[in-house]
Amino acid sequence: MKKLITLILAVLLLFCSTVNASALELLGMKKGDTDLDGKITSDDARTVLRCSVGLYIPSLLIRSLFDLNSDGKISSEDARLTLRLAVGLDGTGNKPVSKETLAKNISEKVSEKELDRLMRGLCSMGSRSVIFPKTNKKAADYISQELKKAGLTPEMQTFYYAGIETQNITAVLNEGKKNGKILLLSSHYDCWDGAEGAIDNASGVSALLHTVMLLKESGIAFNCEIRITFFSAEEMGYYGAYHYLSTLSADEKSRLSVFNIDMAGNSLLGGGKMLSVSTNSAYVSGAVSNELSRAIDNAKNFTCNMGENGYYSPVSAGLHDIVPFEKLSIPAVTLSWREIRPAGSYGSDYGLSSPSQIHTKLDTYENFNLSSLTATTKLIINTVILSYTV
């Protein structure tokens, strides 16, 4: 085998003065494997060290295998990096970590203090309903500023409901591969006109903003394009979601899946508090699992107990911003806290209903649950990392 590799390298050498690392990678060789045995060991590190002090001179055919840091020289630093590879460290000296470890490390950074700050900021504005344009726009500007703090570039999508101007806020977390999958992380920021809308849906907005900040800060690589959108006019009949859909091409729609977060911070006090993954609306019974519901299930198993009495996935429950997407058969889910209350369930699977405070004056900052919001945020982060990172 070594003879064959040497022959191929010799042929390459006929056409260039040296054989670069890219050509070697095409032949299945790795930097640091100086003896071409398919392994990187301490013997390879010793060979690189001998080379760095002039005791060994590699041929032009394999010289780039010795130059671990690609600076054009072979030095003791290259020997050090080779030794790191030999003992299971990567070329930068960091241990390669599993997705599970990565998820654990990042989800542990979820901050109750930061989530509480975001909740206070949103709830202090009063109702963010579209029928109150000033506070609705104030909320949009607040979200935009938070996205900028996270290092993203937000854009406003202006549209109208009953002649009233409002806007979605969009951003791109990761551009992904051209023509690859698109994962849309979404949440609506408007609320019922008679309340602060703490649970519905300052909690979902806060969870998504904190998730975006931590994922961006981590610098991890994703296997798809990840878009962020905060919808307005959900309470009016998903106008923001419909408007967002109208801006997409047929190609984008064919590559899209939607992870929607709503009512992420319901109180855990009392019985019957359930976490649910809805894949269609309450008026369509018999939900069917999809890529996203399975991803959340996997992350839920990893996250373990979140304080809920039950976990239902997939279900038909609630009327959320996934309605416009499900009508086009675009894979979509809404992650939300619910209660077993058949009288208010509108025919949902298992009699799941919205929390009792929703669409009442009781939906205030004082009545949301920070522990629930923290656990939900961790679950969102774990879902994205376990299923959508390289």
Per-residue model confidence (pLDDT) at position 390: 84
Q: How far is CA 21 from CA 29, 204, 289, in A?
A: 9, 47, 44
In the prediction, which pLDDT does 351 show?
83
Q: How many domains does the chain have?
A: 2
- Rounded to whole angstroms, the Cα distance separating 26 from 8 reads 11
155: in domain:
yes
Domain termination site, one of 86, 111, 133:
86
Assign residue 144 the CATH number of its domain.
3.40.630.10
* Range of the structural domain that residue 294 is part of: 99-388
- CATH code assigned at 18: 1.10.1330
Residue 364: its pLDDT value, please? 96
Helices then strands, counting H and E runs in the chain, come out as: 13, 9
Give the Cα separation of 324 and 242 in Å (integer).
6
pLDDT in tens, 3-23: 555 555 455 444 444 445 455
Domain assignment present for residue 380? The answer is: yes
133, 193 Cβ separation under 8 angstroms: no
For residues 190 and 103, state if they share a domain.
Answer: yes
- Cβ atoms 240, 170 nearer than 8 A: no
Asked, for residue 376, whether it belongs to a domain, the answer is yes
Closest CA to 299 of 269, 319, 275: 275
- With a threshold of 0.85, does the pTM exceed it? no
- Same domain (yes/no): 69, 117: no
Q: Which residues of the chain have pLDDT under 70?
A: 1-29, 61, 87-96, 282-283
Residues 6 and 113 in one domain: no
Same domain for 168 and 112, yes or no, is: yes
Q: Residue 35 and residue 42: Cα distance in Å, rounded?
A: 11
What distance lies between CA 140 and its chain's CA centroid? 21
3-state secondary structure of 160: strand
**Is residue 93 situated within a structural domain?**
no
Give the model's pLDDT for residue 116: 98
Share of the chain above pLDDT 90, in %: 60
For the record, the structure tokens of 275 come out as: 């976490």
Determine the pLDDT at residue 349: 83
| 92 domain residue, yes or no | no
Predicted local confidence at residue 93, as pLDDT = 47
